[in-house]
Amino acid sequence: MSSVIDITHYLDDRGFPVFVGSAGRLSRFFGKIVAAASLLPVEGTILSAVPCRRRPGHKLCEGSIHIYRRYDGVIEWTCPECDDEGFIYNWEATYWDKSRYYDSNLGCDAIALIVTREEYDALAGIETLSEESEAILHAAATVDDGVEIAAAPGAFDDLAGHIAFEANHEANECSELLLGKVCERIEVLLEFNEIAQGFYD
């Protein structure tokens, strides 16, 4: 099934995403695709961390959405597992356009961390993230052994701060442990990066 949509149809009068009912579900799905695409260079592609929305035979499709940001601005997306696909127009300068974070977060000095799908979902579920940290998560890629988050060291440092804050305020012990472990790994990654930088300076 192919869908062609104008993303502004999923925003309310003030430009915020609609979040109730089936329109809300679609708004979240298409919005994540737009955010990921907006953080790609023009003509860029990514196997994103956006999970497929389809339920063939009442079972959730396990595919991740592949995204292509076309030269003319149109976003093409497809699920490699079930072949669901679509086109998204008119997303520039909307709520979901996160391209302003591209340079500061995802520049050439970016370093990468691979987390499990469960860890990624826990990070994406943190409500106190900064917009910069949200953008890093939107730009994540699905890889063989999980989800790859890539960002500049400063942006990772910021993300670690938000995770630590959330872990300290987490009532659920499992989530607290999981977030704490991700935080530790980011700190190790940043330390290694600093040592490597010192090596080259």
* Residues lying near Zn ion in the complex (CB under 5 A): 52, 54, 61, 63, 79, 81-82, 84
- Shortest distance in whole angstroms from residue 123 CB to Zn ion: 23
- Shortest distance in whole angstroms from residue 65 CB to Zn ion: 8
170, two tokens:
């987490």
Closer to Zn ion at the Cβ: 52 or 135? Answer: 52
- Residue whose token pair is 């300076």: 201
From residue 182, alpha-carbon distances to 113, 155, 163 in Å are: 9, 15, 8
- Shortest distance in whole angstroms from residue 79 CB to Zn ion: 3
Residues whose CB falls within 8 Å of the CB of residue 197, separated by 6 or more in sequence, listed in order: none
- Shortest distance in whole angstroms from residue 22 CB to Zn ion: 18
Closer to Zn ion at the Cβ: 79 or 179? Answer: 79
| Maximum pairwise Cα distance, the chain | 57
- Shortest distance in whole angstroms from residue 198 CB to Zn ion: 45
Residues whose CB falls within 8 Å of the CB of residue 115, separated by 6 or more in sequence, listed in order: 123, 146, 147, 149, 182, 185
Cα atoms found within 13 Å of the Cα of residue 76, Cβ hemisphere only? 10
- Shortest distance in whole angstroms from residue 82 CB to Zn ion: 3
3-state secondary structure 43-93: CCEEEEEEECCCCHHHCCCCCEEEEEECCCCCEEEECCCCCCEEEEECCCC
Closer to Zn ion at the Cβ: 76 or 97? Answer: 76
- Tell me the one-letter amino acid at 81: E
Closer to Zn ion at the Cβ: 5 or 82? Answer: 82
Closer to Zn ion at the Cβ: 12 or 62? Answer: 62
Closer to Zn ion at the Cβ: 79 or 163? Answer: 79
